[in-house]
Amino acid sequence: EAARRLVAATDPVRGGLAGAPKFPNAPVFRFLWQTGTDAGAVAVERLLEAMVDGGIHDQIGGGFARYATDADWLVPHFEKMLYDNAQILELLAFVHAHRPALAGRAAAERLVGWLTREMQVGTAFAASLDADSEGEEGRFYVWQADEIAAALAPLGADRVAHWRQAYGVTAGGNWEGHTILSRVGPIDVQTDAEARALLLARRERRPRPARDDKVLADWNALAVIALVRAAGVFGRPDWDGLARSVWQGVETMLAGSDGRLAHAACDGRITASGLLEDQAAGALAALALYEADGTVQWLERALGFVDAAERWFTAPGGGYVQVAADATDLPLRPRPIHDSALPTGLAMLAEAQARLFHLTGEDRFRLLATHTIETMAEADPVRLTLQPGMLFAADLLERGRTLVIDGAAQADWITLARSCGVPNLLILRGDTVTTDTHPAHGRRAAPGETTAWLCSAGRCSLPIRDADALLAAIREG
């Protein structure tokens, strides 16, 4: 019912939620994609198509602004936030796995390029870029027609004209006498790539917007999760390496001796104590890395963050609160249950607990996830639509599947499974199933063979010994 109401609230023409301003609302669309319904998939695809083509997308440097001020996604509030871009990258990966498209791949690659080019603080990522430069909002990002013509002159007049037409460049501009670039027509891939490179080189000479150099644990965790998902779908193992490097940098800056993550650091100094969302998102980041490379250390880190949530963030009457019991810099201990532009700490914790249940088979994590969900879930179906992160976690707990792969071609089969980009599919290596609580415990491939099992609800499928059969089994779910 909540999914139906959310689909009904979307804009069937322009994408996103109806009306203006237009925000990505990534938690909403992540949940709609997870439901697996045709209506939900169409809503997510429409959102991403509109955003990728729109002015909210930095068509030259990559990444997305925080929101568009209009209903057509043309005029952004030019500030760029790490948390938005992380969640958008994950959505791009999910949709590309379902319906590959050059535009989606290119948008993902430019987004990661922007992260590495403009947002790195040490090996972690900064929080945001300002909207203003030289005292004007958007000055860094907008163009005059004659400036574009000069920058693109090496392409020749015909190709420049085609590119300008494809991006809506006119003498008068489309915003306060300037042009906000948006994709309005077709252009060949080669011309587009060459034009973007020339314009990026020209733009790099401009004074830059200021950067908020705070390193935030939860926002970086979302970026790590997205990089791992995108690495699998787009076949970019270098993004797996980037994700590991980012998270190692975050832990170096923010992990305490008691196992907790602090919330923020600036100039190498911790500036805010840890919140529930830091522990929860940290657990999800560590689990994403564990699924990607099978290193047990990541599973141990995830268990540590979930244990930290239990130790420091439980509420006297049950459930969890946002602020730790021993925090001195925050006098109140609120308990947000409605998502904002990113899921609440409660929702992310429930998802982490659900993932740990599917990966370990330990029933205590199922009970913890169930309890977390029950203590925050709204009874009113209308208000449930304010909790898409919790709905995602509840769906994952109920319908999550674990793919266990063992044998000679394990690495190749894992690569194949990751390329499917299925949100409720978790991946385990056979040699890491060491507890008898998991339904796949003791199942190993015969020497020289490769075997997979799909497990859910405490049971595993018959052995799968063919890669095509593996793909079919993944997609049937």
Q: Helix or strand or coil: residue 424? A: coil
Instruction: Say if residue 129 is in the same domain as residue 239.
Output: yes
Asked if 248 contacts 140 with a C-beta cutoff of 8 angstroms, the reply is: no
pLDDT of residue 35: 94
pLDDT of residue 115: 99
Instruction: Say if residue 9 is in the same domain as residue 80.
Output: yes
Residue 50 domain boundaries = 2-133+211-399
Residue 331 structure tokens:
């006098």
Domain boundary among 180, 203, 226: 203
Instruction: Say if residue 158 is in the same domain as residue 195.
Output: yes
Alpha carbons 76 and 180: distance in angstroms, whole number: 9
Alpha carbons 466 and 374: distance in angstroms, whole number: 40
For the chain, the average pLDDT equals 96
pLDDT of residue 317: 79
- Which residues, in sequence order, are bridge partners of residue 240? none
Q: Could you report the per-residue pLDDT of 222-254, keeping only the tens digit for each?
A: 999 999 999 999 999 999 999 999 999 999 999
Residue 434 has pLDDT above 90, yes or no: no
Residue 107 has pLDDT above 90, yes or no: yes
Q: Could you report the per-residue pLDDT of 60-103, keeping only the tens digit for each?
A: 999 999 999 999 999 999 999 999 999 999 999 999 999 999 89
Instruction: Say if residue 390 is in the same domain as residue 405.
Output: no
Asked if 274 contacts 324 with a C-beta cutoff of 8 angstroms, the reply is: yes
Residue 271 has pLDDT above 90, yes or no: yes
Question: Which of 20, 72, 10 shows the shortest CA–CA distance to 45?
Answer: 10
Task: Fill in the amino acid letter for 271.
Answer: T
Residue 380 has pLDDT above 90, yes or no: no
Q: Where are the beta strands (DSSP E) in 200-333?
A: 211-212, 215-216, 264-266, 269-272
Residue 184 structure tokens:
């309005």
Query: For 96, which DSSP code?
Result: H
Q: What H or E segment, with its residue span, contains residue 426? A: strand 425-429
Residue 328 has pLDDT above 90, yes or no: no
Instruction: Say if residue 327 is in the same domain as residue 455.
Output: no
Residue 168 structure tokens:
């809506």
Q: Could you report the per-residue pLDDT of 1-54, keeping only the tens digit for each?
A: 899 999 999 999 999 999 999 999 999 999 999 999 999 999 999 999 999 999
Please state, in angstroms and as integers, the Cα–Cα distance from residue 69 to each residue in 44, 54, 79, 135, 384, following that order.
20, 12, 12, 19, 26
We report the CATH number of the domain holding residue 319 as: 1.50.10.10
Q: What percent of the chain has pLDDT over 90?
A: 93
Q: Which residues contact 169 (CB under 8 A, 6 or more apart)?
A: 143, 145, 148, 163, 179, 181
Asked if 437 contacts 394 with a C-beta cutoff of 8 angstroms, the reply is: no
Residue 330 has pLDDT above 80, yes or no: no
101-115, 195-209, 281-295, 319-333: which range is least confident on average?
A: 319-333
Instruction: Say if residue 149 is in the same domain as residue 265.
Output: no
Task: Fill in the amino acid letter for 452.
Answer: A
- Pure H helices in 125-179: 145-151, 157-166
Instruction: Say if residue 147 is in the same domain as residue 57.
Output: no
pLDDT of residue 238: 99
